[in-house]
Structures are given as structure tokens and as C-alpha cells.
Amino acid sequence: MNKTFNTIGLIGKPNHAGANATLKKLDSFLDALGYEVLIEQRVGFDMGVPEHRLVELVDLGRQCDLAIVVGGDGNMLGAARVLSRFDVAVIGVNRGNLGFLTDLDPHNFEAALEQVLAGQYRQETRFLLEVEVYRHEKLKSSNSAVNEAVLHADKVAHMIEFEAFINDDFVFSQKSDGLIVCTPTGSTAYSLSGGGPILTPELNAMALVPMFPHTLSSRPLVVDADNEIRLKLSLENDDNLQISCDSHIVLAVMPGDEVVIKKGDKPLRLIHPKDYSYYNVLRQKLNWGSRLY
């Protein structure tokens, strides 16, 4: 019988007893089904896996058809920024809190995963943001983000001043605590806490969400994701600034710098069980009301 996937990579949350237990269970389950299983080396050492099956995350992306991430959304984000470079499908086992990106139950994943392995799954692509910092027209640093890029000061509740452009068209100047630029994936994360809109995953859109702006007329703005967003930092800012990517990676920004945020070239291939429904996830995670009839 032809297999949809041949080589499967396991990625987990380091030094987490629950995640390790699930990884061991997954390893045994997949081995019994005859799959070649590689394990990301940081968690593989804790599991006592033979060294020839341990690989770095980049090599896992190169060699595997499917990657299974065990942990919370944070673990999925960290893995996704790397795995999106490769043609590898990604699915998550929830060992975190909310779990917007991790579908499978860590205690009862077998039936759903068997369906996925048999080719019965839903697939979607989620685009990432590419974030670049320029100083005197020279690229100083860059990185990617699955959820959002956030411009902010390195101090809490510290107002900054900047201008925003879209495709070189001036949009607004603003004094605020910062600005969130999010993808549809990130619209249910930090942006949602800041009053941003929920963008369904299939939308080719980004949201710009001001953080505590010094005006009542400032509102979130949704734009086509094929646009390029440029933020120009005022020279009047008197402190060091930052661009945070998914709250994991921080790029330093100085007064006068320009930040370019645009859609990345390589999307993440995210797969779900056949019965997955995005709206069901929203109802569960956000405690929306169930059907009346």
C-alpha cells in the first residue's frame, strides 16, 4: 500500500515531562506502522533515542514528509518559522494552553492520526511575514514571523512616534505604545488582545493594530497581504526600540530606522484531521455560544 508520508519527524517541548511522554507514545505508534521516524535532537536526547535518529530542526525539514509538533502554540511557531522553508506538512499535538495551531489530543491521537497518515486530512497554507530593519538605507537585521511583528519600546508603557506607509503611500503618523502587524494566523493571538479583528485563515490579508494610540480615532486597518508596509521611526524618539517577531525574536531598532514588513515567499503547509473546523476552534477557545437549535 502506498503511503502518503514516508519519513516523519517529531518535534517537542524540551524538558517537559508531558511532551516527552507523548513523543515516546508517538514514536512507538509510528514505528509499529512501519514509518521511518526522525526526532529533533533537543528532545531526542531526553528520550534516550539512538543517535542516528536524532537530527537538527533544519535537517528534519529537509528529510521529512510530515512533521508532528508536540507542545503549545509557541512550540509550533518556533518550528514553523524553520519548517516553512521546506516542502513538509506540519500537524500539532496540543500540550499547551489554548492550542489554536495544535489539533491532536495528546491522550487520544491514534485514530485521528491514522486518518491523516492514510491521506484523509485537510490542508491549508499559512503565509509568514518577512521583517527587515534598515538604517541609512542599509539592511541591518531581518527575520520572519508566523503570527505578528510588533513595534514597541523596550520599556513598558512608553510612547513612541512613527509614520506608516503602504506601498510608499503615506497612511498615518502616530504616537502610541507601538503597532502590531499580524497575519490571519496571528489574528487570534496578541492582536486579538489588542482589539484587532479576527481574520479567517484563507484571507490574503494583514491587520495593522495600534497599541494604545494617543487619539480616539485610531482604529485597526486590514490591508491586502501583497502590500508592503513600511514604518519610519521618528528621530524624536528618545529610547531604544524593538521589533518583536512572534514574541520569540527581537530585532533592535533605533530612532530614524525604517522597518519593512511584507508577505514571505514560502508558506507553512499546515494539515488538520478531516473533521477540523476553524469555527469550531473559535467556539471552543473563545467560549462562544453553541447552537440554539
**What are the residue ranges of helices labelled H in 98-243?**
110-117, 190-193
Q: Quick one: CA dihedral 120, 98, 199, 129, positive or negative? A: negative
DSSP letter assigned to residue 100: S
**Residues contributing to the annotated binding site for NAD(+):** 73-74, 147-148, 158, 175, 177, 188-193
Residues 6+ apart with CB under 8 A from 64: 7, 8, 9, 38, 88
Burial-class residue 232 by CB neighbours within 10 Å (0-12, 13-18, 19+): middle
- How far is the CA of 163 from the CAs of 48, 206, 238, in angstroms? 53, 18, 16
Binding residues: 73-74, 147-148, 158, 175, 177, 188-193
> So which residues are the catalytic ones?
73
**Alpha helices (runs of H) in the chain, residue ranges in sequence order:** 17-32, 41-47, 57-63, 73-83, 110-117, 190-193, 278-286
